[in-house]
Structure 1
Amino acid sequence: MTINLIFRIAAVGILVSVLGTVLKHSGRDEQAFLVSLAGLILVFLWIVPYIEQLFETVEKLFSIG
């Protein structure tokens, strides 16, 4: 995992937090929820390959498959 991924995740977190706060204060709670959900999905899509790699490594380590 590179440090670049960690910085991207942090940037998305900050952006989602700011946008969510602005949207909530303007009375758009539904859009704030959708922004949070979109940020979560984006980060999840970024880390799925690393999770897959982790499971493959564990499988090789314990000779499961």
Structure 2
Amino acid sequence: MGSLQPIFQIAGVGFIAAILHTVLKQSGKEDYAHWVTLLGFVIVLFMVAHYLGDLFAEVKRVFQLN
């Protein structure tokens, strides 16, 4: 189950951002809704970058590249 954890974390951030976007948009705060969406995207982007760094480090370790 450890290999699916990043997928669930990214999905969780997306789900929370979508809910907040909907609530803010319905309450007439469309500007804040767009900022929440952008913030969710940036958070996911950093998460993916972190996981890609881990992946490249693991590939380096497996193939013993310097």
TM-score range, shorter chain: 0.7 to 0.9
Q: Percent of aligned pairs with the same residue?
A: 37
RMSD: 2.1
Q: Which residue of 1 aligns with 2:34?
A: 33
Q: Distance in 1 between matches of 2:56 and 2:20?
A: 34
Matches within 5 A, 1:6-21: 6-21=7-22
Deviations 1:41-65 (A, max 9, x none): 00000111344566786xxxxxxxx
Give unpaired runs (5+ residues) of structure 1. 58-65
Paired residue secondary structure (1:27): coil
Give unpaired runs (5+ residues) of structure 2. 60-66
Aligned residue pairs, count: 58
State which drifts further: 41-50 or 31-40: 41-50
Letter in 2 for 1:5: P
Q: Which residue of 1 aligns with 2:23?
A: 22
Output the TM-score relative to the length of structure 2: 0.72
